[in-house]
Structure 1
């Protein structure tokens, strides 16, 4: 590697450290120091391009705003074209990085390495909780667990007063009416992650292949997250899975979930999802932070909500074009900053727990 490139890399690592140190300070007198650190974290390619996961689109909007405010003159154009398209466009060299609900796999790993001239890394930057949202007149604070959710979504539990649901909700008046299941009719990373959860958390009682199409064999389809939220809002006695922000905006009930550890029902909050993320297992090597999401789905940690999807930013570990590597690094550094992270709950996402964010910071600092 050229000497100048090594100098640039070292300077950016130091800048990243200064940025996080400044952002974490309570000393208002250090405002000038933070501004200087932000300036040092910037640089490289001015107009970045990325595409991919629509699940992270609202988070990316916030990250881009922080990036453009922090790094004057630098921009990022993100196209939410879907995870598959994002991976293909990155591998084809049409974009500088990709957003994806799934890590690179199979032939994609080798193809991305050829595109980068180096290893490609999967960096899980955005986590979005999946709500079990319901419209059940007269019933609040519904409690469910993994096996029961699986049996609802594969048609084995068909009425709201089924003994499996009643056992989890003592004292509640559950109506003796059919459960109406609403599912995503379009291909969706949310659907795939949800079905992975159903299999993992039910010891395979769900019994259906996890893919981006719903395979439960029951219910009515609606297109998109807004579609299933609207269908559930407009249909009494119905239930769906959907990103939490859509459930909130639709005024739907959100079930509390008993995780694999048993014990108390866990409500969906940024803190309880963060508790699950804190303990998720990383199975990738080094800075390639591929996750074992089954470790999240089957968490036994107290007060940990177990259903969430992770979105990766897929990057080159060592870009052949130095300015591009510097620009991608600058964007990701600002995305990890407290300024960018603190507004995520309003958009239905979860700020990264400190320990997990530090792991990502170390990986971002290593990009060249």
Structure 2
């Protein structure tokens, strides 16, 4: 696994962000002090599932937490964000991970599982979405959102299409058929990727956003691992996947044109600049974020997702164990584990809000 130490430095630049209220597979030890805070260990057994995007982070967190809190047992399955939310609503998961906050129609169903409280959206992992491709001879691909929309909607079928050529002045593009790959399961990654397209390329992407892929054509692959495997094994392919999976699979990543007109490489710093424009759209202890995908901030990489842990503020029979574990994941120590896993630690302005919300779980 490639180490992503530049992430910590990049996201550190966003530590003073002002988020307003208006609005695995890795088994290496994490970098820095990942000690569990005294008093956060609570006996119990937790069953969790959901976002495959955060699974590597969750595996590392669970390993560290259980290593220091022997009386707590936590199981997490990367079933996908949609499956996770349904499990929470069905009462078969104690908390879940989702790459999108609860939708308006899902919130009351989730709240019903929290007697006397509400289901909270707690941002826990920043996972930028990389546009990955497998095209021999093309190492520095650049793409604008209208071009991406046309590729994934099937309007562009060849790699030497004039629209792609216009984004890549002087590049030698082959007359190769494009093999687009998308998630076949319901996924918050798909929801965030299509939300980016719908907000930045309205004329070329008319399908809106959803966890389920709606565009015709292309090939579906299950979960993040399936997407990376499909791209790596298919010449001429293109897809979208969380940066940690792109790095782990050593896939090429395209530079994406932002609202300032720049083709931007995906780095910790560039992703952090987009998170800098986020606002807290939730109320009270709910911390749902509103991300500006059309950011005009110079140097910002615009396609990012935030994985939320969805948990009851009150009413869960396992509230103490949930609170103990999420106290660790939202702590400075817990977040310090993410930099080496291909994720981005939460900026302090966000982390402190999450930590405060978790502290109120009862």
Question: Quick check: 1:194–1:307 contact (8 Å CA) kept in 2?
Answer: yes
Residue of structure 2 in register with 1:338 after alignment: 332
Residue of structure 1 in register with 2:127 after alignment: 128
Distance in 2, Cα, partners of 1:227 & 1:325: 34
SS in 2 for 1:115: coil
Q: Which has the higher helix share?
A: 1
Alignment deviations for residues 166-194 of structure 1 (CA, whole Å, 9 cap, x no partner): 22222322223332322233333322222
Q: How does 1:1-150 map to 2 (within 5 A)?
A: 38-40=37-39, 42-117=40-115, 118-150=117-149
SS in 2 for 1:157: coil
Could you say if the C-alpha distance between residues 333 and 195 of structure 1 is closer, same or farther in structure 2, counting changes exceeding 3 Å? same
Question: Quick check: 2:159–2:174 contact (8 Å CA) kept in 1?
Answer: yes
The normalised TM-score by structure 1 is 0.80
Residue of structure 1 in register with 2:160 after alignment: 161
Distance in 2, Cα, partners of 1:220 & 1:87: 25
Residue of structure 1 in register with 2:320 after alignment: 326
Q: 1:359 aligns with which of 329, 339, 353?
A: 353
Could you say if the C-alpha distance between residues 252 and 208 of structure 1 is closer, same or farther in structure 2, counting changes exceeding 3 Å? same
Question: Quick check: 2:98–2:310 contact (8 Å CA) kept in 1?
Answer: yes
Residue of structure 1 in register with 2:301 after alignment: 305
Residue of structure 2 in register with 1:259 after alignment: 258
Residue of structure 1 in register with 2:283 after alignment: 285
Question: Quick check: 1:39–1:70 contact (8 Å CA) kept in 2?
Answer: no
Residue of structure 2 in register with 1:246 after alignment: 245
Residue of structure 1 in register with 2:182 after alignment: 183
Structure 2 gaps of 5+ residues are 1-33
Task: Specify which structure has the bigger relative contact order, considering alpha-carbon pairs within 8 angstroms and separated by 6 or more residues.
Answer: 2
Q: CA deviation at 1:285?
A: 0.7
Could you say if the C-alpha distance between residues 227 and 328 of structure 1 is closer, same or farther in structure 2, counting changes exceeding 3 Å? closer
Structure 1 gaps of 5+ residues are 1-33
Distance in 1, Cα, partners of 2:166 & 2:282: 40
Distance in 2, Cα, partners of 1:224 & 1:112: 24
**Alignment coverage as a number of residue pairs:** 328
SS in 2 for 1:38: coil
Q: CA deviation at 1:45?
A: 4.3
Could you say if the C-alpha distance between residues 88 and 163 of structure 1 is closer, same or farther in structure 2, counting changes exceeding 3 Å? closer
The normalised TM-score by structure 2 is 0.81
Question: Quick check: 1:150–1:198 contact (8 Å CA) kept in 2?
Answer: yes
